[in-house]
């Protein structure tokens, strides 16, 4: 039996992860910004589930909620760092305030949770951190520049953490999903408030297209949760989990394009040495 702490557990992949772990007999702390939303999920298994209020943008809320989780359970074996939301708009369209807000939730919020949980995992010399990133953390596109930047940042942190934590018995995995049938393209998707006409055929068109796919995405969050659960039980979990058909194709396309550019410019690039 494992003990889980899952942020953003009121809906989408976080909720599916919580329900999957509970169905396997594990204990789960479900964390969310609104306590009532996660309480409704926890009430289904009151002996093995605890709802705590964690607003990842509030350091005191993170410390208090994590302490409550550790007091309830003897250990945190798996942290699923899932809380976050989308932001769409051309890079020029996104204001400083909008950019800071999405970084505050998607990047600094995850850092706050990591800093609260990692001392506990280091002391017990075991654990598994699962950061929920995005295929947009491996490649960006029109309209996703600032959102992708938060996920690119999480990629860098996750790769460094693996090197730092592996000798201490703590695994790190960053999950890079493509489109899954959650509310991500619905109410969880924010749009820059000051659109510019010149970007209507690039960032604007892609944002409109994403809106129409809400509730129709090909990925099944329950199956995604089952795979993540399997990885959490592995003795050799991956650092990167590219999740879903679309994500795999996009990732492979990025690798091919990168390799092609390196090859095309290899000679003059190497010629820059003394």
Active site residues: 147
Q: Using H for helix, E for strand and C for coil, what is the string for 75-93?
A: CCCEEEECCCCEEECCCCC
> Could you tell me the two tokens for 164?
């730092």
As a whole number, mean pLDDT of residues 213-239 equals 88
Instruction: Specify if 262 maps to a domain.
Output: no
**Domain containing 132: what range?**
3-246
Report which of residues 73 and 48 the model is more confident about: 48
The pLDDT tens digits for 228-263 are: 999 999 999 999 999 999 999 999 999 999 999 999
**Is residue 218's pLDDT more than 80?**
no
Pairing mode, if any, of strands 49-53 and 86-88? unpaired
Which band of pLDDT confidence, cut at 50, 70 and 90, is reported for residue 207? confident
Instruction: Specify if 266 maps to a domain.
Output: no
Instruction: Specify if 255 maps to a domain.
Output: no
> What is the C-alpha to C-alpha distance for residues 17 and 236, in angstroms, rounded to an integer?
20
- For residue 109, CA distances in Å to 58, 206, 225 come to 8, 27, 22
CATH number for position 162: 3.40.50.720
When divided into structural domains, the chain yields a total of: 1
Identify the burial level of 237 via C-beta atoms within 10 angstroms of its C-beta, where 0-12 means exposed, 13-18 middle and 19 or more buried: middle
> What is the C-alpha to C-alpha distance for residues 103 and 184, in angstroms, rounded to an integer?
17
The pLDDT tens digits for 183-205 are: 665 565 788 888 899 999 999 88
- For residue 67, CA distances in Å to 71, 76, 117, 212 come to 6, 11, 9, 41
Instruction: Specify if 268 maps to a domain.
Output: no
- For residue 260, CA distances in Å to 67, 140, 246, 263, 273 come to 49, 18, 21, 5, 21
Which band of pLDDT confidence, cut at 50, 70 and 90, is reported for residue 162? very high
The pLDDT tens digits for 88-109 are: 999 999 999 999 999 999 999 9
């Amino acid at each position: 039996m494992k003990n889980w702490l899952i942020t953003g557990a009121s809906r989408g992949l976080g909720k599916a992860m919580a329900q999957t772990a509970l169905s396997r007999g594990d204990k789960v702390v479900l964390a969310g910004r609104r306590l009532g939303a996660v309480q409704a999920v926890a009430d289904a298994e009151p002996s093995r589930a605890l709802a705590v209020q964690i607003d990842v943008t509030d350091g005191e809320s993170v410390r208090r909620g994590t302490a409550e989780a550790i007091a309830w359970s003897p250990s945190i074996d798996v942290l699923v760092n899932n809380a976050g939301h989308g932001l769409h708009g051309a890079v020029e369209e996104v204001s400083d305030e909008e950019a800071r807000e999405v970084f505050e939730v998607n990047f600094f919020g995850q850092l706050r949770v990591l800093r609260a949980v990692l001392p506990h995992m280091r002391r017990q010399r075991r654990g598994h951190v699962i950061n929920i990133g995005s295929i947009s953390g491996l490649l960006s596109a029109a309209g996703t520049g600032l959102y992708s930047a938060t996920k690119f940042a999480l990629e860098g942190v996750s790769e460094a953490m693996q090197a730092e934590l592996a000798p201490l018995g703590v695994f790190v995995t960053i999950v890079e999903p493509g489109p899954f049938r959650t509310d991500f393209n619905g109410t969880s998707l924010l749009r820059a408030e000051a659109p510019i006409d010149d970007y209507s055929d690039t960032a604007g068109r892609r944002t409109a297209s994403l809106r129409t796919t809400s509730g129709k995405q090909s990925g099944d969050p329950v199956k995604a949760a089952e795979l993540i659960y399997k990885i959490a039980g592995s003795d050799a979990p991956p650092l990167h989990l590219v999740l879903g058909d679309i994500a795999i194709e996009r990732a492979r396309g990025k690798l091919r394009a990168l390799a092609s550019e390196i090859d095309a410019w290899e000679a003059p690039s190497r010629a820059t040495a003394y």
